[in-house]
Structure 1
């Protein structure tokens, strides 16, 4: 293996070993809550779907990229490549849209009753299932054309111009205009969500600042203070996720804008872009695990059970 292959395999292996266990923890924690408490909050449902989406991206993109870095390039046939690219496009789109939905809901949840967003406090939970199903169908319909243009191997191993090269799969665009149109379409679609997330994050920060100013002058009950602290922590966590996504989105699309200026993109440039496009799948669950009280409570309970079991076993053997 060359140096690039070693670095590529190491980088994506790190992403994989973080992303898969972390997202599984988030999914399992919320599913356990669902079966034990028979109810999940709206934000928990969105986070569970987001963790599942990130988990799928890790399986579909991080693992193949790790194997490709190790030199295993013939991973799929044409149909396998089409399915892989289709699923990645769907789940990548869901990742940003669910993050946006989480941000919007958090802004709505902490907004005052006099706010224009107040009617959404009941509407979003009521129509959440329909919103999520609509997003799945939307991205499935938008990902078909890219999947159709995907192949597993090239004629004479010659990479034609305007090809998205993953080494184990190739997305071939027939001309420059098709390449530009698809790329700008995806970027503009994501930019809409980015702008909405940015606006809502700004609104959340403004509400948190206003609340902080009021707390200095007004002494509230312990219960209301605890509720406010929980809302504040959740809001800060959502804003953190938005900031991270905006940073990764920016790097991803700056690289893409560079690639449209050249006909053949080097594999190294593609590797860097793919790395940042999948980095969110590893960072997102870490933020959720470290900030969500329900998940932290589950992990503490598991830790306590593990500590108690050896003590009980040692007592029994005496």
Structure 2
């Protein structure tokens, strides 16, 4: 019979491998299409950035978590722990930021052509790459504090107050400045989630109005046409729903782990839930976005 630790390691390994393969497939497809294939949509640049940072999330968390589950808890020193946690946190924040940009851009695309919002679409496409660089700069600076307080497993005996991450430890001093820092730094994340929820609600509202208009003009017998813009919007909506669902469940579980008495299964379930969006998002795009299939067919014929 397979032991509990081996079963957990297999779960993390399968999640990491399949997620990394899906993200790498999309990243390679977008890269090849950019140089040799048809012209990419502006939204594809954001999707390319999303799958790249999701790959970083999976590799920086899935591999160490798999090794730690098998009992290998001393494979990282202080420098390794600092770098792994730092880039994992930066990549997770960038995943949130990119998903927020995706939902915002698609909401602009769906806005009525007569609206002044539509005038921003042409300008917004020019600023996608600078916005991605701005997100990188902000989150690299924001998470710099991780490099100060995360330590390797050998330093856990010297930590009186901290959090144990199995293969690394973190000791954040409880002070007014740290609490103020956490509050200020958490505001952009809360703002991004609020924007995603708001833009998703707006897109659903636009779809509902369009559906009612089509039914009024043509009757109930006609099904709404699945234009590329509509399919792209549905793909973004699925990504937002997946992101909010996985991270909401993980946030509730993390609070319980922090203040309750969780079992070892729940402790391992938290990083598994945190990696669900990076692991599944690429397959959501592959299945729901027909443009990906067109890029693949163009590459295959080419």
Q: Same fold (TM over 0.5)?
A: yes
Give, in angstroms, the shift of residue 170 of structure 1.
1.4
- The structure 2 residue matched to 1:237, chosen from 235, 238, 253, is 235
Check whether the contact 1:4–1:268 (CA below 8 A) recurs between aligned residues. Answer: no
Answer with 120-129 or 178-187: which moved more.
178-187
Give me the whole-angstrom Cα distance separating, in 2, the residues matched to 1:253 and 1:123: 36
Give me the whole-angstrom Cα distance separating, in 1, the residues matched to 2:127 and 2:231: 25
1:188-267 equivalent positions in 2, closer than 5 A: 188-218=187-217, 229-261=227-259
Give, in angstroms, the shift of residue 202 of structure 1.
0.7
Check whether the contact 2:78–2:150 (CA below 8 A) recurs between aligned residues. Answer: yes
TM-score norm. by structure 2 comes to 0.87
Q: Secondary structure at the match of 1:117?
A: coil
Give me the whole-angstrom Cα distance separating, in 1, the residues matched to 2:177 and 2:29: 43
Give, in angstroms, the shift of residue 93 of structure 1.
0.2
Q: Alignment length, in residue pairs?
A: 297
Instruction: Quickly say closer, same or farther: Cα 1:183–1:254, change in 2 above 3 A.
Output: farther
Deviations 1:103-141, CA, capped at 9 Å, x for gaps: 111111111123352232122111111111000001000
Deviations 1:47-83, CA, capped at 9 Å, x for gaps: 0000001111111111111111122222222111111
Instruction: Quickly say closer, same or farther: Cα 1:155–1:128, change in 2 above 3 A.
Output: closer
Q: Secondary structure at the match of 2:248?
A: helix
Per the alignment, residue 95 of structure 1 pairs with: 95
Per the alignment, residue 20 of structure 2 pairs with: 20
Instruction: Quickly say closer, same or farther: Cα 1:302–1:43, change in 2 above 3 A.
Output: closer
Instruction: Quickly say closer, same or farther: Cα 1:115–1:4, change in 2 above 3 A.
Output: farther
Rg larger in 1 or in 2? 1
Check whether the contact 1:86–1:146 (CA below 8 A) recurs between aligned residues. Answer: yes
Check whether the contact 2:37–2:299 (CA below 8 A) recurs between aligned residues. Answer: no
Check whether the contact 1:162–1:179 (CA below 8 A) recurs between aligned residues. Answer: no
Q: Secondary structure at the match of 2:170?
A: strand
TM-score norm. by structure 1 comes to 0.83
Give, in angstroms, the shift of residue 216 of structure 1.
2.8
Give me the whole-angstrom Cα distance separating, in 1, the residues matched to 2:155 and 2:96: 35
Per the alignment, residue 110 of structure 2 pairs with: 110
Deviations 1:125-168, CA, capped at 9 Å, x for gaps: 111111110000010001110122111124474763331x2211
Give me the whole-angstrom Cα distance separating, in 2, the residues matched to 1:238 and 1:127: 19
Give, in angstroms, the shift of residue 89 of structure 1.
0.9
1:161-200 equivalent positions in 2, closer than 5 A: 161-163=161-163, 165-175=164-174, 187-200=186-199
Check whether the contact 1:153–1:169 (CA below 8 A) recurs between aligned residues. Answer: yes
Check whether the contact 2:156–2:169 (CA below 8 A) recurs between aligned residues. Answer: no
Check whether the contact 1:162–1:175 (CA below 8 A) recurs between aligned residues. Answer: no
Check whether the contact 1:57–1:88 (CA below 8 A) recurs between aligned residues. Answer: yes
Alignment RMSD? 2.8
Q: Secondary structure at the match of 2:227?
A: helix
Give the gaps of 5 or more residues in structure 2. 219-223
Answer with 122-131 or 278-287: which moved more.
122-131
1:118-197 equivalent positions in 2, closer than 5 A: 118-155=118-155, 157=157, 160-163=160-163, 165-175=164-174, 187-197=186-196
- The structure 2 residue matched to 1:295, chosen from 292, 295, 299, is 292
1:286 is aligned to 2:283: yes
